[in-house]
Amino acid sequence: METRRVVVTGMGAITPLGNSVEEFWQGLKEGRNGIGPITKVDTTDFPVKIAGEVKDFDPKKYMDFKSAKRMGLFSQYAVAATKEAFEQSGINMEDEDPFRVGVIVGCGIGCMQKHEKEIPKFLSGQKLDPLYIPLVIANMASANISIQFGLKGKNMDVSTACATGTHCIGEAYNSIRLGEADVIVAGGTEAAITATGIKGFAALTALTTEPDPEKASRPFDKDRSGFVLGEGAGILILEDYDHAVKRGAKILAEIVGYGVTNDAYHITSPSPDGSGAGMAMKIAIQNAGVAPTNIDYINAHGTSTHLNDLYETRAIKYAFGPAAKSVSINSTKSMTGHLLGGAGAIEAIVCVKSILDSYVHVTRNSVEGEEELDLDYTFGEGKSRDITYAMSNSLGFGGHNATIIFKKV
C-alpha cells in the first residue's frame, strides 16, 4: 500500500520557559531554568516546593472571554499553542475542506483545578457547576481546538500518561500517511500543578523534594532524586507533503518513523532491561528505513528519577548497540520539569528546532553519571551539531512507550 509523506508546517508552545516556540527554544539554548518556587499552591505543609510553572499566561490573548470561561486550564493552554501553530503554518481554513483537517491532542489527567473546586461542594451537599464534567474531561482540549478553529475532520484524545503527546503526534502521522486527513493538529497538554497533583505524585515518591531549583531536575546524574512537575502545551501542524507543497507552505521537518510498545511489566516502573522502550525505538528506526548509526540526536524522556534514567539508558543501548556511544542525548525536562501529557509534544518541537538550528541544548544541572549512565547526555554545555535525524522518546505510567523520528528536509 502506497503511503504519503508527512511534514511539519507549524508549531506552538506554552511552557515554563516562555509562551511561544521562539521564547521556549531561546531559553533552552541559553540554558535557562524554567523551574522555581510553586506560586499556584500553598506548599507550607507540602514536602515539594518547586515546579515548572507557566508564567504570565492570559487566555484572553488567544480566545474570547466567554470561550476561555468554558475551558479548563489544560484546554486553554492547548488552544493558545494551536493559535501560534496555525499562524506559522499559514493555513487558511476558507481554502480547506474542514472534514480533511483533524485534531489529535491529548491530556494525561484533565482539569484537576475544577475537581478540587467542585468535590468539596459535592461532599457538603452543594449544587455543582453545570459545566463541571465538560471542563474536566481530558478530550476537551481536542474538542475545544476543533470548535475554536472550525476543524471537522478526525478528532481524538489519546491519553497514555507521560507518553500522551508523542502518541498523539505518532497517531496523527499514521492517519495522514494512510489518507485519512490532509492536515492534523497534534500534540499534548497538561495543567496539573495543583494541591492534589503535587501531593498525589509526592505520595508515589516520584517527585524530588530538593528545594533548590538549580539542583532539582538532574536527568542522568548520579545525584538525581525524582522529577519536577511541569505544565504547558505543545502543538504541531502535521500535513501531507503534497498538500503543503501545493499551497506553498514552509516545511520545517518531516516525520519518518513511529514506534509503539508496552512493557507489560509494572504500573509505574519501566521494564528494567529496557526492552520495551528499546523495541519502540527499533520499530521507529525500521519504519524510517534507516540504521541506528543514522540517528544523530535523541531527546530522551529523561525524567530525573532513579529508575527511568537507568532503564531508558539500557533501552537506548538495546536499540542502538555500539551506535549508542555516538548519538547526542539530552533531556528538556532539566529546564522545564515534566509536563506529563504535554511532555512529548514540547520535546517534539525541540527535535524540529534542533534540526533547524543544528544545535543540541544542554542537560542543565546534570554533572556526572554513574556506572551504567555512560552515554553522551550533553552535560555542561550545549553543542552545535548537524542533525539529519532526530528521535524523541516518551515513557508513560502503565508501560506505554512511544518514539518518533524527525528528518531534516
CB 72 within 8 A of CB 104: no
DSSP 153: S
CB of 270 closer than 8 Å to CB of 260: no
338 given a catalytic annotation: yes
* Set of cell numbers at residue 237: 501542524
Distance (Å, whole) CA 201 – CA 192: 10
Q: Which residues contact 50 (CB under 8 A, 6 or more apart)?
A: 35, 36, 37, 38, 210, 211, 213, 216, 228
Q: Active site residue: 301, 351, 361, 400, which one?
A: 301
Q: In DSSP terms, which residues pair with 6 in a beta bridge?
A: 240, 255
Provide the residue type at 108 as one letter.
G
Query: How far apart (Å, rounded) are the C-alpha atoms in residues 106 and 189?
Result: 6
* Helix, strand, coil distribution of the chain in percent, nearest 5: 40, 20, 40
Q: Which of 167, 338, 361, 400 is catalytic?
A: 338
**CA–CA separation, 119 and 102 (whole Å):** 34
Active site residue 167: no
Cα 309 to Cα 178: distance, rounded to the nearest angstrom: 35
Catalytic entry in 107, 111, 162, 351: 162
Known active-site residue 162:
yes
Listed in sequence order, the DSSP H helices in 265-389 are: 275-288, 306-320, 333-336, 343-357
Are 354 and 408 within 8 A, CB to CB? no
Q: Which residues are catalytic?
A: 162, 301, 338
